[in-house]
Amino acid sequence: MEWLIKSLSSLPLKWLYLLGDYVVYPLMYYVARYRRGIVRKNLTLSFPEKSKNEIRTMEKKFYHHFSDLIMEIVWTYRANKEEVKKHLIFENLDDVERWASEKKGVIYMLGHLGNWEWLPAVQLSYKDSTIQEYNVYRRIKNAAVNRLLLETRERFSGKGSSIEKNDLIRNMITMSHKNQRFTLGLISDQKVAPHNAYHRTEFLHQQTTFLGGGEVLARKMDWAVTYIHVHEISRGYYRIRIDLLTTSAPQTGKGEITERFARALESNIQEQPHLWLWTHNRWKWDRMKE
């Protein structure tokens, strides 16, 4: 697998898109039928107003995007930093730098939307070079793939900028004591077992559990919290708008920040449903009760 990724990463992105269109997409969708049952169920329950034909159109559009995402990640392993930067338009970075100066830390809460692997490239767009971008990750069981992903992410934000989730609190407290200004990318839409849930709310017409890591950190450390709004301009080009959720985290009630995130993410998904990662069986526990 590792040699294949490294070999393909040297190809131009437009060639990789062709590979995705004519090899990856048909293999995933028609041959392997990769999680098609889960994707269809998720879409059907999330968009009850849509007809079966509309759901299937959404489903195919998602798998096309999923193929593009895989190809983009492969390409990023060797891609020129300036080339990747051309694919991303970040909005409200002046505000982010101001919040980082005032609060020392700014949390980016985001979902599995668009190409989340490109978020570390925000480091290339900061005017203030003293602000450091960090990103939280969960270790992948395949050691080779895990290593390649870390190398890819840290090409933009620097070695050591990817923090394994179990080391997050220790690292953040250390950086806070050093008085370092930073932003922290935190994917916050993972599926959560009921006993681990921090907050529960209706999300895409279903009762949904959420983790509270971003909220807990922000309330404890008094950091600003933002939502990463993703809009696909054209194939492989994204406008990323950084929307403020709060600069007064300690004054919010339990679950309030997470609820704001859920509403922002829900609205973002409804704008361009194909951009979200529908293959995760996020609602399996609640459905087992039905």
Residue that is last in its domain, among 76, 105, 121: 76
- DSSP structural state of residue 224: E
Looking at mean pLDDT, say which of 69-73, 141-145, 146-150, 280-284 comes out highest.
69-73
Residue that is last in its domain, among 76, 111, 126: 76
pLDDT at 141: 79
For the chain, first and last CA: distance in Å? 40
Q: Is residue 189 part of a domain?
A: yes
Residue that is last in its domain, among 76, 105, 127: 76
Return the SS3 of 219: helix
Q: Is the predicted pLDDT of residue 200 greater than 70, yes or no?
A: yes
Lookup result for tokens 């953040």: 172
For the chain, how many structural domains are there in total? 2
Does 97 lie in the same domain as 235?
yes
Lookup result for tokens 């049952």: 37
pLDDT at 290: 43
Average pLDDT in the chain: 91
Contacts 24+ apart (CB under 8 A), 148-153: 148/2, 148/5, 148/6, 148/77, 149/73, 149/117, 151/77, 152/73, 152/76, 152/77, 152/117, 153/117, 153/120
Nearest to 183 by CA among 224, 239, 254, 132: 132
- DSSP structural state of residue 139: -
DSSP states of 58-110: HHHHHHHHHHHHHHHHHHHTT--HHHHHHTEEEE-HHHHHHHHHHHSEEEEEE
pLDDT at 84: 94
Q: Tell me the average pLDDT across 75-100.
A: 94
Nearest to 282 by CA among 212, 227, 203, 186: 203
Q: Do residues 122 and 85 make contact, with C-beta atoms less than 8 angstroms apart?
A: no
Q: Which of 18-22, 88-92, 184-188, 190-194 has the lowest mean pLDDT?
A: 190-194
* Residue pLDDT, tens place only, 116-170: 999 999 999 999 989 999 999 888 877 877 888 888 888 888 888 888 888 887 8
Return the SS3 of 130: coil
Domain of 16 in residue numbering reads as: 2-76
Give the per-residue SS3 of 241-253.
Answer: EEEEEECCHHHCC
* Global model pTM greater than 0.85: yes
Does 95 lie in the same domain as 167?
yes
Q: Is the predicted pLDDT of residue 279 greater than 60, yes or no?
A: yes
Give the C-alpha separation, 45 to 31, whole Å: 25
pLDDT at 286: 55
Does 67 lie in the same domain as 8?
yes
Which tokens go with 132? 């450091």
Does 113 lie in the same domain as 41?
no
Lookup result for tokens 């989340």: 116
Does 284 lie in the same domain as 150?
yes
